[in-house]
Amino acid sequence: MGKVAAGNAITYADGAWHEGSPALIKPRDNGFWLGSAVFDGARSLSGAVPDLDRHCQRLIQSARLMGMKSPIEPAEIEALAREGIAKFPSDAELYICPMLHPTEGFIVPDPSSTQFILHIGESPLPEPKGFSACIGSFRRPARDMAPTEAKASCLYPNVARSVGEANDKGFETAVVLDPIGNVAEFSYANFFMSLDGAVHTPAINGTFLNGITRQRVIQLLEDDGVEVHERAIDPQELASANEMFATGNYAKVMPCTRFEDRELQPGPVYNRARELYFSFTEACR
């Protein structure tokens, strides 16, 4: 296979690369029928691939948590991802999505039936124009209610419910609470706010993913001398936040510019977080 045309995608499955997004899953596959599939997401931005190794490692851990046994090691996934990236133009902005799903097993997946798929497609990085958010009514589950520590496909219908509810209210996403009513995250991205120059983000409590971009931004801010507090955040505190912003693989670092009836501006803490992250990304070439 030669260079991929602009706007296209490729998929690695069954030991070979295929054009586009081929049909690969059967109706009785456990991952399709019973929702046991896991995935991860990484970014290639003009050849810079930040934290690709961590994304590959997390995929394997997610599979273990869901009762699967991966047929491939993290280093092999990383090598395949780089092989696929090289098939696109050098300035392409790509979304890299490795997946594992079992084909066999009734209710409980058969670990030995786990299949690997890698999809890579063009996906431009969103402009940092900001987004609006409101408090949502659909909460993140506790770890004894769902596989919250895995990046599992079965968790995303609840994410979709929170986004749909926010959209119906005129917002783009929601601030999602945890089971006891503290802030967990935005619907599909990690939550940060600033108060008097310091950064505050919900402490990891088993109800939402400790995002790889989240971890990187915290480290970069702390190394830059910014005070970062990981703690329980009451939703009432959001009314006095100076800034709010999100981190996640898809958009990386993005400001919240409207929360409920408050207009917010991208502030110095957000701007520094974004600057630090993309300087780190440049160093990943």
Q: Say which amino acid occupies 62.
A: S
For the chain, the distance separating the N- and C-terminal CA atoms, rounded to the nearest angstrom, is 24
Query: b/e string for 101-134 if b means 16 or more Cβ within 10 A?
Result: bbbebeeebebebbbbbbbbbbbebeebebbbbb
Structure tokens at 149: 């520590």
φ/ψ of 128, rounded to 5, equals -80, 55
Is pLDDT of 6 > 60? no
Q: Count the alpha carbons within 13 Å of 105 in the hemisphere toward its beta carbon.
A: 22
Average pLDDT over residues 129-156: 97
Residues contacting 173, CB < 8 A, separation 6+? 131, 132, 133, 162, 163, 166, 186, 187, 188, 189
Domains, the chain, with CATH or none: 9-122 (3.30.470.10), 131-282 (3.20.10.10)
> Which residue(s) pair with 11 in the sheet?
18, 119
Is pLDDT of 5 > 90? no
User: What percent of the chain is predicted at pLDDT more than 70?
Assistant: 98
Query: Among the residues of 141-227, which ranges form H helices?
Result: 156-168, 212-223
pLDDT tens for each residue of 59-105: 999 999 999 999 999 999 999 999 999 999 999 999 999 999 999 99
Predicted pLDDT at 38: 98
DSSP E strand boundaries for 209-271: 228-231, 243-248, 252-259, 262-263
Is pLDDT of 1 > 60? no
